[in-house]
Amino acid sequence: MKEFQAAITDLSHDGRGVARVEGKAVFVSGALPGEEVRLAIRRRHRNFDEAEVIELLTRSPHRVEPKCRHYGQCSGCSLQHLDAASQIQAKQRVLAENFERIGKVQPATWLDPLTDQPWGYRRKGRLSVRNVVKKGRVLVGFREEDNPRFVADIEQCEVVHPALGPKIGLLAQTISGMEAAGDIAQIEFAAGDDTMALVFRHLKPLSDADRAALIAFGQEHGMAIYLQPGGISSVHPLWPESPRLAFRIAADDDRAHDVELEFRPLDFVQVNAGMNQRMMSHAMQLLDPQPDDRVLDLFCGLGNFTLPIARRVATVAGVEGEHGLVERAAANAERNGIANAAFHVANLFEDQRNAVWAREPWNKLLLDPPRAGADKVLEYLPHRETQRIVYVSCHPGSLARDAGILVQRHGFKLVSAGVMDMFPHTAHVESIALFERA
């Protein structure tokens, strides 16, 4: 590989350093703005190249030593070499640039960033599994940084929930000793407040000995074990017979406003439990729910926002495209003694303007869409009665686009916006924005 010396002038949206070599943009993994590096081109493209650092010639004052010994090999969190304050600043800059470039809008006020514990926060995720015959053992972990076809060889993970993070190597050892060592494709993990669940996706039926080995692992480490021999509907508990996964959302003002949500191990829940709690408090402050409010919660999932809102308003409706999530949201409402929340199944990427819930007069709206955003919904919502909108986003580009729609087409003003560090040590940007009728 040909080597070059270059100055790093910026940080890309995916967390790589940016340099120019022979007039061409080069994205450099592990490099930070202000650093001088010797690099080697790893991949060439028409408009840019990708490179790796061979030698760090000058060091950024914001560089820190990564906590994880697998940093640089594992793709799980690529910004561990950047101090926490600079990570947040980089995410704020990404959000501001997207608002300006895509939405042509800027918030009247920037919210202070929301942060929480930066380690051991990940309660949901998927581990890849690979049986490496030449090594005579199984690897369990996330994909490699430089080659996503391969599984990083890790013993522990600093960002995964502490019930599992330190035990990934032990999990790999257990699978290595199984007859089905080559037939376990992946392991989904999900943690409630009291239980860590592992879901083993296996391509062939497991022997009695293999099932016993997984049960023994679960019993020794206090984890619920599920099997998935086929599609999502095939997931079932192996041990114990009826595990319970649930998490509580505490209210800031009154414990009577607390809610508890039960979920299944493959259900979508916010990855970061601590940040979810802080995000909930923040969203409530921005939405400012009042006893006579009628609130519409779109992309509601299990009712993560719907049920806390219901404790404070006259009525709330949650709309979600996945039938199973809607069923469990309704069950969670009943379990919490909430009678003023209704739930509807609807594909929000299709035109739903004739649905009964879409025609009702909602004075407040909450949106928490996936990465694609909510532009299809914004073709027919909000109505004139809607005075306030809180938008929770996992993608700054789609939020910026939708902000432009709300401001330019629907006559709202972007009152405030800010980032939430849902995924510390990654370039992922989670954010929240408040819109009010102008």
Report the C-alpha gap between 172 and 221 in whole angstroms.
14
Report the C-alpha gap between 265 and 44 in whole angstroms.
40
| Cis status of the peptide bond prior to 240, with omega within 30 of 0 | yes
Q: Which residues of 389-407 are buried (b: 16+ CB within 10 A; e: fewer)?
A: bbbbbbbbbbbbbbbbbbb
Amino acid at 308: P
Tokens 């003002």 label which residue?
253
> What are the beta bridge partners of residue 430?
420
Report the C-alpha gap between 201 and 52 in whole angstroms.
34
Active site residue 394: yes
Catalytic residue among 68, 157, 300, 394: 394
Tokens 């640039």 label which residue?
97
Amino acid at 67: K
**Class of residue 13 by CB neighbours under 10 A (exposed 0-12, middle 13-18, buried 19+):** middle
Beta strands in 281-362 (DSSP E): 294-298, 315-320, 341-345
Report the C-alpha gap between 405 and 409 in whole angstroms.
5
Q: Which residues are catalytic?
A: 394
